[in-house]
Amino acid sequence: MKKEHKIATIGKDSIAKELGICPGDVLVSVCGREVEDIFDYQYLIHEEEITILIRKPDGEEWEFEIEKDYEEDLGMEFENGLMDAYKSCRNQCIFCFIDQMPKGMRDTLYFKDDDSRLSFLQGNYVTLTNMKDSDIERIIHYHLEPINISVHTTNPLLRCKMLNNRFAGDALKKMERLREAGVLMNGQIVLCKGINDGGELEESIRTLTEYAPSMRSLSVVPAGLTKYRKGLYPLKPFTREDAREVIAVIQKWQKSCMERFGMHFVHAGDEWYLLAGMKVPEEETYDGYLQLENGVGMMRLLENEFTDALQKAAPDAVRSRRITAATGMLAAPLIKALGERLREKFPQVSIEVIPIRNDFFGEQITVSGLLTGQDLIRQLKGRDLGEKLLLPCNLLRSGEEVFLDDVTLTELKNALQVPVDIVKSSGQDLVNAFLG
């Protein structure tokens, strides 16, 4: 069955607009070839002379011969941005967060993606287990990079156990093909206590350093454990002492990698430092924040940006105000410290930082991005929140004013009877929000 690529929007003053192509039309082919996905499409339309076949809603087909500048876009956006079905994960990882979610949430939260194209487009991590040779060839052909890979362990037998997939060990061999082709990679290890830590972690780091510099970075993050683990593999949370041991291993390898490659290569997620009660490293340790979206270096970047923004803020432009900031248990100490620093310069600004306990998923989940609207309402209702409540932007579904549990921002405001500001992720945004 041929894929249908229905056009959603047409750009103003675009080639497609001039040709009379409209939303609702279907792209049939480019230069006589069926388009598999967005990468095929972008590759095929790069040339200066192309032919496209469009099918109108009444079934009539229009063929256009187009002359344009090299790599000039046609101005068509499609209903499915990937122009193909998303590839789902076939593994049953012992630490999978989706398997630890309660029933009754929106369907999209239960979809497990394992699509290398989303790795390139959105920074998602892939296990390589459902990739065919043709998928690897497409990555190499289109030079899709960086590819983010969930490695977890380089021990083939242990990886089969952790992913509950008998092919998971062999899948690691695909990294070798990517390295040989010069495709840039980032690696990730989700650490499970007593499983892939200790000596296994040391060996995984050692093995993956051999992939540098094609593998630019390796992050080590703790497995997130919710209270909904009944019937799942018995995993235990890491302690403060465990976190310090993990950091010690990583720091040892960072020193070695700096001597060998001139980069730190392996990085601990921010959660390790907060759990260990240790200060996050300085900016140069993060090699340019290559895994920022994976929670590696976010705290350091926020603090540095906040410091720069605070130095530039003019004292005479700030009025007296009292506000509240709510965030996850993990980030709350840092946000509180930043608020206190701001008040030293602006004593007329009173900031209360309230750490929100994650009752929905369980107290082991401490990151702000997994807080729900109902937990915010329960723990903040009835409190004097001042003139405004500040919340981090990662609490809301991307592009919408909806929390993870489908509570809306309007419902939250009505329940708390206070104006709410959603604060973007930069330090400058935080200073602006504090100062109003």
| pTM of the model as a whole | 0.83
User: Do 355 and 418 fall into the same domain?
Assistant: yes
User: Do 120 and 266 fall into the same domain?
Assistant: yes
Q: Are the C-beta atoms of 68 and 45 separated by less than 8 Å?
A: no
Q: Are the C-beta atoms of 237 and 104 separated by less than 8 Å?
A: no
What is the per-residue pLDDT for 218? 97
In a domain, 83, yes or no: no
What is the per-residue pLDDT for 45? 86
User: Do 264 and 156 fall into the same domain?
Assistant: yes
Once rounded to an integer, what is the mean pLDDT over residues 243-253?
98
Q: pLDDT tens digits, residue range 113-151?
A: 655 565 555 567 889 998 888 888 988 988 888 999 999
What is the per-residue pLDDT for 172? 92
**DSSP per position, 336-389:** HHHHHHHHHH-TTEEEEEEEEP-TTT-TT---GGG--HHHHHHHHTTS--TTEE
What is the per-residue pLDDT for 104? 81
User: Do 207 and 345 fall into the same domain?
Assistant: no
Sheet with 266-268, side-by-side order of all strands: 125-126, 147-150, 185-191, 215-222, 266-268
In a domain, 91, yes or no: no
What is the per-residue pLDDT for 121? 55
Cis peptide bond upstream of 234, omega within 30:
no
Q: Which domain holds residue 134?
A: 98-294
In a domain, 85, yes or no: no
317 Cβ neighbours under 8 A, 6+ residues apart: none
Give me the CATH number covering residue 116: 3.80.30.10
- Beta partners for 65? 51
In a domain, 84, yes or no: no
Model confidence band, residue 89 (pLDDT cutoffs 50, 70, 90): confident
What is the b/e burial string over 394-427, where b = at least 16 CB atoms within 10 angstroms of the residue's CB?
Answer: bbbeeeeebbbbebebebbeebbebebebbeeeb
Q: Give the distance between the most distant pair of CA atoms in the chain.
A: 70
Domain end (from 278, 294, 310)? 294
User: Do 103 and 190 fall into the same domain?
Assistant: yes
pLDDT averaged over the chain?
A: 90
The residue written with tokens 């970047």 in the block is: 301
In a domain, 261, yes or no: yes
- Listed as own residue / partner, the contacts of 164-169 with beta carbons closer than 8 Å and 24 or more positions apart are 164/91, 164/92, 164/93, 164/94, 165/90, 165/91, 165/92, 165/127, 165/129, 167/129, 168/91, 168/127, 168/129
Once rounded to an integer, what is the mean pLDDT over residues 189-204?
97
The residue among 32 and 265 whose pLDDT is bigger is 265
For residues 344 and 338, give the distance between their C-alpha atoms in angstroms, rounded to a whole number.
10
Model confidence band, residue 65 (pLDDT cutoffs 50, 70, 90): very high
User: Do 345 and 428 fall into the same domain?
Assistant: yes
Model confidence band, residue 355 (pLDDT cutoffs 50, 70, 90): very high
Number of domains, the chain:
3
Domain end (from 275, 294, 313)? 294
How far from each other are the two terminal CA atoms of the chain, in whole angstroms? Answer: 56
Phi and psi torsions of 16, nearest 5°: -60, -40
In a domain, 93, yes or no: no
User: Do 117 and 184 fall into the same domain?
Assistant: yes
Give me the CATH number covering residue 372: 3.40.50
For residues 349 and 32, give the distance between their C-alpha atoms in angstroms, rounded to a whole number.
65
User: Do 59 and 200 fall into the same domain?
Assistant: no
301: its two tokens: 């970047």
What is the per-residue pLDDT for 120? 54
Give me the CATH number covering residue 9: 2.30.42.10
In a domain, 63, yes or no: yes
User: Do 274 and 316 fall into the same domain?
Assistant: no
What is the per-residue pLDDT for 236? 95
Measured torsion, CA atoms of residues 40, 43, 48, 53, in degrees rounded to the nearest 10: 10
Helix segments in 85-194, DSSP class H: 116-122, 133-142, 156-163, 168-171, 173-180
* pLDDT above 90: percentage of residues in the chain: 71
In a domain, 92, yes or no: no
Count Cβ atoms below 10 Å from residue 387 Cβ, excluding itself: 12
Q: pLDDT tens digits, residue range 323-334?
A: 999 999 989 999
Model confidence band, residue 2 (pLDDT cutoffs 50, 70, 90): low
User: Do 424 and 309 fall into the same domain?
Assistant: yes
User: Do 50 and 149 fall into the same domain?
Assistant: no
Above 60 in pLDDT, residue 27?
Answer: yes
Domain end (from 78, 111, 140)? 78
User: Do 138 and 253 fall into the same domain?
Assistant: yes
Q: pLDDT tens digits, residue range 90-116?
A: 888 999 988 888 888 877 676 666 555
Q: pLDDT tens digits, residue range 371-396?
A: 999 999 999 999 999 999 999 999 98
**DSSP per position, 38-74:** HHHHHHHTTSSEEEEEEE-TTS-EEEEEEE--TT---
